[in-house]
Structure 1
């Protein structure tokens, strides 16, 4: 595809927000984050607190470019380390009967109560490459599939570890879980520091991806990145393609959730990856408040995680690129910023494990029209009249270029049926 896969014309027709309005929105977002992020959480949750009967243990490899912390139970802070460090961390998740799927049950005090709260079971530093290889050998499932997660902006080390443990557990993904955590100061006021930290970390992530893909015991690598983590992920893949002539063949699937990416820059990154790209899936939501602020402080250019895939130029460019988009705008979760829907919705984490992390495309056989978690084809709102209002009432809009015509046929038939009923009722 020549030029930018996402080149937007929409920002030129949108008036620039006033400074006072932008500052007001930043202040409101800061307040929301301060109220929701760490309120009431004890410090040092990575001090081992054991497990409980009926709890589930998630054993993960944690690779980081953060500098070590001297504070007990914190392990790594928000400053930048001089090299990539690794550890094996086992997290205990309370029985499902004692928790809401899609949520992290943070300890109210330490030691944690493993029967009701997330708890750290063990932390084992892996200083040698041979120790990492041993973890991989012992952790690979029969599928020999690996999932690498890259967290987003405003995340502490323990935030990333516990959130990934929740995703792995709730999705029931058949994978060896690896998390890459970069230096975030976990402050709404350090957005630029965090962004530069992703740039600081892209070589290390590229190295981790290459080592993982080159391991003969591993058959398939899926990458899932959230928010600002999408930037460092796509940058690492772009660098790999430039260095090696292509993205490593075992990296078959890339999931970007609420990607905090300038759409024009993503178009250039996409082009640089060359013709042999992994399968890309995007989770977007037009009501994402965090990305609204990011757009305003980044030159008012649309963020990839906030696009409307039914609108041009996105509609045509996504179809040509073969990128699948799940639009979660209508999906309601407990996230007041609407920035973490992919992980907090029980239906979405199930979909992640059953289909997406397994490298399969989500189609209408997985999400049916009219169900509680539903789907509509790209463009139906423009083509089927009153039937579209019925279809779009479902919480998820999905755009998969390969199945678009299948969806359109279903909704067209629905439109004709509704149209015939209306004609009969009105005598027209």
Structure 2
């Protein structure tokens, strides 16, 4: 009787969280066609010039370009986003109407289709010496325009110098389409593997970092696993993988790491034990802990990551300046965004030396107090960095 009551309470809690998410999504209603290109003054705004690779279906509606359905193959486009100067770091300023006002809004200045066979030319057009590439994979419940604007915000706010590549898979952008999105992630992994290989093979690319958020972590890790199984290893240029709030089954993730093999990239994971979105995912996925929601203060998680090779875990649980669901702190927290641009997105690793309390979490409760370190875990409130076999 008690077990049935507990289960009922769990489902009521799940329903409450889903409804809360729906309310949040409803409050954030956005105009259709937000990517309608507009003319801007380069001197009055910043810009991000990115390559977009997508497995979404093309959409003829003006300013939409791609929707949440699955396409018949990989589509590419060169997209340039204008970003207003008067805005807070971590924020995406959506236009209230179309076309947007570049003084106040994120807007597209150009969207140019590219043939998939010509992907290498995009890397070649980068003049000068070989440069790093940053490939970003968005998460669940993300429409196409939202994936473009969010990645542009991350690149701009982090002052990232790597060539930005967005991989956008078919998410319908609706909370109740969780299972559809998950299958769309499976649908897209071979195409992401193609993009990763293309970047790694280019002589104009010095290194490749793959950064994935939420369910995008599944697409990213599966693509790397596929490359390793088919080619014998992940390309050496793929030096760093950043998983932000990954919606990954913890048991499956361990098996994926084993199958990718010992010559895998360094893995950096952003976790938060109070991630409300991943609590919902856990209930929908049979109660198995999600990698992005592990609590490093509890066993067996601490011991598991302590035994892992070349893994850095950054715990953002105590960071209070993220989103209301605590699921996108890596992008909405100004300090974390700047840390990303400072080292990791350039293929470099981090340690506690890169996260002084004055730099990380300056606006969060408890900043500036070092509360201890044990077994390679460094606690610099409110951020905890755990590095197994960390390298400088």
The normalised TM-score by structure 1 is 0.83
Q: 2:123–2:202: 8 Å Cα contact kept in structure 1? A: no
Q: 2:130–2:203: 8 Å Cα contact kept in structure 1? A: no
Cα separation, 2, equivalents of 1:378 and 1:274: 35
SS at match of 1:353: helix
1:71 aligns with 2:61: yes
SS at match of 1:233: helix
Cα separation, 1, equivalents of 2:111 and 2:66: 12
Cα separation, 2, equivalents of 1:170 and 1:225: 17
Displacement of 1:92 in angstroms is 0.1
* Alignment match, 1:46: 35
Q: 1:310–1:379: 8 Å Cα contact kept in structure 2? A: no
Cα separation, 2, equivalents of 1:401 and 1:35: 37
Cα separation, 2, equivalents of 1:152 and 1:268: 21
* Alignment match, 2:345: 357
Count of matched residue positions in the alignment of Structure 1 and Structure 2: 383
**Alpha-carbon displacement from aligned partner over 1:380-404 (angstroms, at most 9, x marks no partner):** 48999xxx9xx66x22111112469
**Alpha-carbon displacement from aligned partner over 1:132-163 (angstroms, at most 9, x marks no partner):** 33322223674510000000000000010000
Which is greater in Rg? 1
> What are structure 2's unaligned runs of at least 5 residues?
362-366
Q: 2:217–2:247: 8 Å Cα contact kept in structure 1? A: yes
SS at match of 2:240: strand
1:18 aligns with 2:29: no
SS at match of 2:248: coil
Cα separation, 2, equivalents of 1:318 and 1:19: 33
Runs of 4 or more off by more than 4 Å in structure 1? 14-17, 140-143, 369-372, 374-379, 381-384
* Alignment match, 1:297: 284
| CA RMSD between the two structures | 2.7
Q: Give the structure, 1 or 2, with the largest relative contact order (CA under 8 Å, sep 6 or more).
A: 1
Displacement of 1:198 in angstroms is 0.6
* Alignment match, 2:18: 29
Residue 300 of structure 2, aligned match among 303, 310, 313:
313
1:58 aligns with 2:48: yes
* Alignment match, 1:175: 162
1:247 aligns with 2:230: no
Q: 1:259–1:305: 8 Å Cα contact kept in structure 2? A: yes
The normalised TM-score by structure 2 is 0.91
1:105 aligns with 2:75: no
* Alignment match, 2:145: 158
Residue 347 of structure 1, aligned match among 320, 335, 338:
335
Q: 2:311–2:389: 8 Å Cα contact kept in structure 1? A: no
Cα separation, 2, equivalents of 1:29 and 1:258: 18
More strand by share: 2
1:182 and 1:99, CA in 2 relative to 1: closer, same or farther beyond 3 A?
Answer: same
1:35 and 1:258, CA in 2 relative to 1: closer, same or farther beyond 3 A?
Answer: same
> What are structure 1's unaligned runs of at least 5 residues?
1-13, 407-428
